[in-house]
Every structure is written in C-alpha cells, then in structure tokens.
Amino acid sequence: MKLLITGASGLLGISLALEAMREHEVIGTDRGKLKSAPFQVLKADLTHKGRLDSILDSVRPDWLVNCAALTNLDICEEAPDLAKILNTDLPVELAEVCAKKYIRFLHISTDAVFDGDKTDPYTEEDQPNPLGVYAQTKLDGERAVQAANSQAIIARVNFFGWSLNGKHSLGEFFVRNLSAGRSVNGFTDVIFCPMFVKHTAQLLLGMLDEGLCGLYHVVGPHAMSKYQFGVEIGHKFGLRKSLISPNSVDGSGLTAPRSHNLWLSTHKLSTDLGCEIPLFSTGLDEFYTQFQQGYPQKISSYQQP
Ligand SMILES: NC(=O)c1ccc[n+]([C@@H]2O[C@H](COP(=O)([O-])OP(=O)(O)OC[C@H]3O[C@@H](n4cnc5c(N)ncnc54)[C@H](OP(=O)(O)O)[C@@H]3O)[C@@H](O)[C@H]2O)c1
C-alpha cells in the first residue's frame, strides 16, 4: 500500500512512518524540519488551502493518515483561530478530498475531548464535553470528518515516545529532567492511559489493514496519574523518583484547562481488531530499550540542524 502521512515530523507522524515503511511505501509531509528521513518527504504548509489536494493528485496514496495538528494546549488558547484551521478545518478538507478520490482516511484525535467527570472508563458512546480550545477544535474536527466521510477512521490517542527534538512527550520530560537531577511536578489528579507510540502506530496500521471505520479509542490499557507515570519512568531508567513532587494540576499555572480523568476504554478496539492491546509495561520496556540503543539520537539526526 502507498501511505501518505501528514505531520511526519511530529511524534506520532515519524513513529508511524518508520513503522509503516517496513511493509508499505511511505510519503510524509512536513514544513521543512526533516532532512534525511529514511522515507520520502514533501514540504507543505497545510494551512494553504488546496495544497494537499495537489499533493494527493501527484502521490495517489491508498491511505492518508492525518497526524498534523496544533497540539500545544496553551498555544491553542492563545491562538484559537490557528487551532481551528489546523484541528478542525484541515481535517474536514482532507476527509472531503479523500472521499472524492476514494482514498482511505484515518484522522487522529484526542482523549482530551472528555471533561473527566466520569469515574468509569469513557467509551466511544460517551458524550464528549471539551474543556478548552484544543479539545473543542479537535472534537469539531472529529464531527466534521464523520459527516464528510463515513468511511473515515477517527482514532482518539494518547502516547509517549522519542520525538525529533527530544522534548515533545511526557516520557521525555521525565527522563530529561530526572537525568539532570532537576525537581519536577507530577500531577496526581490527572488520570490518563499512555501508550508507547510504536504500539499506537502498529495498531493504527492494523486498523487500516482490517478496513475498520468509525470512532475508536486507541490508548493504553492501564489508567494512571501523570505522577505515577513519572515514577514508573524513573524506576525503569534508574533515576531518582524522589525528584518528582506529587502535586495537583489545579493551580499549576497552565493556561488551558485539563480534564482530571481521561481513562478511556479500549474494548471496542481490541474486539474489532481481535487482539490484546499492548501492556504499559511492555511499552515502557521498549521505550527504555530504544534509549539504550541510541534511538533518540538516531531520529534527532533526521532533522535540519
Ligand atoms: N502527544 C499525545 O500524547 C497526544 C495526545 C492526544 C492526541 N494527540 C493527537 O495526535 C496527533 C499527533 O500528535 P503529536 O504529538 O505527534 O503532534 P506534534 O508532535 O505536535 O506534531 C504535529 C505535526 O503537525 C505539523 N503541523 C503543524 N502545523 C502545520 C502546518 N501549518 N502545516 C503542516 N503541518 C503542520 C507539525 O509540523 P512542524 O514539526 O513543522 O511543527 C508536526 O509535524 C495530533 O492530532 C494530536 O492532537 C496526541
């Protein structure tokens, strides 16, 4: 299959591209960060309407996965117009074009569409109630994609892994700061389901392979607090866990509101794929193995100096 990935310089985009190229032809789009990635890269600012249309005509992919987004929650609060363009308008444009050109479309959304008031895991049937601009624009994107392209897959994700600049994921945050002996906060009242990004990539490819469509939760099978996550990372990497202070997200000074509970059920995904969702401990082991094998340095060498 020929797979086009938007946002290929992002944490998920590059991980998906590297995973997909084992079996598929991969073309990524970025805005000029990638220099020597082992897959073909096309430079494109996707805020330029129609840019993707011309790329699709020249590439003619079988699958398009949209990993491009404005992902910084606090920047979304400061730049809501840009958040709307990237998180709502762009996905709709892609969904429409893909429907017209018979290209399978997979759009990446977020666990953050929920307000966190539920105590049980959220299912795909639960009503979202976004708390901030990022979450609202992502939910608007989901709904418009569903309306424009009934065959599209929409995946609500949450992942950790090694990114191009080494600073993107929460996992990297804990490794970087604890390695430097710096104290950090770990939120005890933000529950989420982190998944190792390589596992996210493998599941997304499995969903395309199986011809699934509709809304899916693609997160890890274990819910934990951000504090607990940091402690697990510290333990695995042999770093000082005591540098992590258990704290509340309330009053932390972050601009965007955060949901307290993003515990999402993956029952639908595991049933429809007919497989177990990889354990958090397996993902953490692989995250550490990649570190030992110099993977962070390897992917950072793919970017422009
Ligand atoms: N990280 C998580 O745990 C998490 C949690 C929930 C949902 N998600 C969702 O997962 C998806 C991928 O997230 P990520 O963490 O991999 O994001 P990321 O690392 O921030 O990457 C975002 C990508 O979008 C690209 N982009 C931004 N503006 C663009 C523009 N104007 N034109 C073209 N490309 C543009 C970025 O390019 P540049 O590199 O040039 O900026 C980058 O490649 C997003 O939909 C996000 O909402 C992520």
Local confidence band at 17 (pLDDT 50, 70, 90 cut-offs): very high
* Distance from C-alpha of 73 to C-alpha of 200, rounded to nearest angstrom: 21
Probe target for ligand 1 pocket from 4, 5, 6, 12, with the most ligand atoms within 8 Å of CB = 12
Residue 54: pLDDT above 90?
no
For the CA of 15, the closest atom of ligand 1 is 16
Give yes or no for residue 305 having a pLDDT over 80: no
Cβ neighbours around 276 below 10 Å, total: 9
Give the list of residues 6+ apart from residue 133 with CB closer than 8 angstroms, or none: 73, 76, 77, 80, 83, 256
The atom number, within ligand 1, closest to the CA of 70 reads: 27
Task: Give the model's pLDDT for residue 252.
Answer: 82
Q: Answer yes or no: is the C-beta of 55 below 6 A from any ligand 1 atom.
A: no
The dihedral built from the CA positions of residue 21, 156, 209 and 86, taken in this order, carries a sign that is negative
Instruction: Please give the Cα distance from 25 to 3 (Å, whole number).
Output: 6
Question: Residue 98: pLDDT band by 50, 70, 90 thresholds?
Answer: very high
Residue 9, ligand 1, Cβ within 6 A: yes
Q: Does ligand 1 have an atom closer than 6 angstroms to the CB of 144? A: no
- Which pLDDT belongs to residue 251? 79
Cβ–ligand 1 contact at 30 (below 6 Å): yes
Nearest one of 82, 79, 103 to 1, comparing CA atoms: 103
Question: What's the confidence (pLDDT) of residue 51?
Answer: 83
**In whole numbers, what is the pLDDT of the chain averaged over residues?**
95
Residue 68 Cβ contacting ligand 1 at under 6 Å: yes
The response to whether residue 67 sits with its C-beta less than 6 Å from ligand 1 reads yes
Nearest atom, ligand 1, residue 107 CA: 45
* d(CA 261, ligand 1 centre) in Å: 22
154 Cβ partners below 8 Å, 6+ apart?
106, 107, 109, 142, 145, 146, 214, 215, 216
Please give the pLDDT value at position 64. Answer: 97
pLDDT at site 255: 84
Q: Are 169 and 158 in contact (CB under 8 A)?
A: no
pLDDT at 207: 97
200 lines ligand 1 (CB under 6 A): no
Is pLDDT above 90 for 289? Answer: yes
Q: Which protein residue has the closest C-alpha to ligand 1 atom 5?
A: 158
Q: Supply the DSSP symbol for 255.
A: S
Q: What percent of the chain has pLDDT over 90?
A: 91
For ligand 1, pick from 4, 19, 29, 31 the residue to mutate: most ligand atoms within 8 Å of CB. Answer: 31
Task: Check residue 52 and give its pLDDT.
Answer: 85
Question: Does the Cβ of 171 fall within 6 Å of ligand 1?
Answer: no
pLDDT in tens, 106-118: 999 999 999 999 9
Residue 50: predicted pLDDT: 77
Is 261 near ligand 1, meaning CB less than 6 Å away? Answer: no
Summarised one tens digit per residue, pLDDT across range 210-236 is 999 999 999 999 999 999 999 999 999
Question: Looking at this protein, which amino acid is placed at residue 209?
Answer: D
pLDDT at 257 (0 to 100): 87
pLDDT one-digit tens code per residue, 140-194: 999 999 999 999 999 999 999 999 999 889 999 999 999 999 999 999 999 999 9
pLDDT value at 49 more than 80: no
What is the predicted pLDDT for the residue at 253? 79
pLDDT at residue 10 in the model: 97
Q: CB-side exposure of 180: number of CA atoms within 13 Å? A: 8
Is the CB of residue 233 below 6 angstroms from any atom belonging to ligand 1? Answer: no
Residue 67 CA to ligand 1 centre (angstroms): 6
Q: Which string of DSSP letters, residue by residue, matches 184-239?
A: EEEESS-EE--EEHHHHHHHHHHHHHHT--EEEEE--S--EEHHHHHHHHHHHHT-
> Which residues touch 188 (CB under 8 Å, ≥6 apart)?
225, 226, 227, 228, 246, 247, 248
The enclosing H or E element of 109 equals strand 104-110
Task: Give the residue with greater pLDDT, 81 vs 304.
Answer: 81
